Structure 1
Amino acid sequence: MEHIAALLLVIGCSNTMGECRELPVPVSVFASMDQCVAERPFALGDVQGQSQRVVAKCLTVDPALEDDYDQIVWAVRPDGTLDASLAVSSMVMASNTIRPEKDYLSQQ
């Protein structure tokens, strides 16, 4: 299985950059950052006309966390700069504060 080293994120926005959304592209994951950067202009061409303004960014994927990433956090600034990163949500574990078993440490 090949590892993913980069992800291409493409965002389409209104002319004022006030409304933005992710745009699907034919290929969005790559085995190297160089491949992602090389594909970026072609992906922008593929989505031309879907939004008034389009911005894109290649994001580095840590192979050790490849299966753990569960969201892309992004924001487009008014000047058109795309800030984006891959994130791992913290896991929430269920716990039961009422333990039916005996607490042997507190009994002496």
Structure 2
Amino acid sequence: MEPIVAVMLILGCDHSMMVCRQADQPVHYASVESCEADRDLRVRLVDKYPMAVAECIEVPELGSDRKVVIDWRVDAAGGLLAEARLRDVGPLTAKAELRTTAAGGV
């Protein structure tokens, strides 16, 4: 299995780009370049929302006790700004296993 180097975050938004939600689970890629080559097609396939945006995000190398969290926001021009960061997992509890955040984490 190839390591995950990049993920594509896809958001579906209303016409005003004021309300956006993660449209699909992030898609994993072995390179940022392969993610970017696939981005336009994946955005066109989003049909549950009037508008869609996507961003390819380089993923930091994971250790066994860490997970990747993606922070995102849509700017005033409708562009998606996203960044991946590492976060310690900590003790595994039912609450700690939930891998999403209100900001759109993975």
TM-score (norm 2): 0.72
Counterpart residue type for residue 40 of structure 1: R
The Cα shift of 1:89 comes to: 2.9
Q: Which digits, 9 at most, give the CA deviation of each residue in 1:78-105, with x for residues without a partner?
A: 2111111112235668xxxxxxxxxxxx
Q: Which runs of 5+ in 2 are unaligned?
A: 92-106
Q: What secondary structure does 1:37 align onto?
A: helix
Q: Is the 8 A contact 2:67 2:88 kept in 1?
A: no
Q: Is the 8 A contact 2:67 2:89 kept in 1?
A: no
Q: Is 1:80 aligned to residue 74 of structure 2? A: no
Q: Is 1:65 aligned to residue 72 of structure 2? A: no
Larger radius of gyration: 1
Aligned-pair RMSD on alpha carbons? 2.3
Partners of 1:73 and 1:55 in 2: how far apart? 15
Total equivalences in the alignment: 90
Q: Is 1:8 aligned to residue 5 of structure 2? A: no
- What residue in structure 2 maps to residue 55 of structure 1? 53
Partners of 1:70 and 1:29 in 2: how far apart? 12
Q: What secondary structure does 1:88 align onto?
A: strand
Closer, same or farther in 2 for the Cα pair 1:85/1:66, shift >3 Å? Answer: farther
Counterpart residue type for residue 20 of structure 1: C
The Cα shift of 1:71 comes to: 1.9
Closer, same or farther in 2 for the Cα pair 1:58/1:66, shift >3 Å? Answer: farther
Q: Which runs of 5+ in 1 are unaligned?
A: 94-108
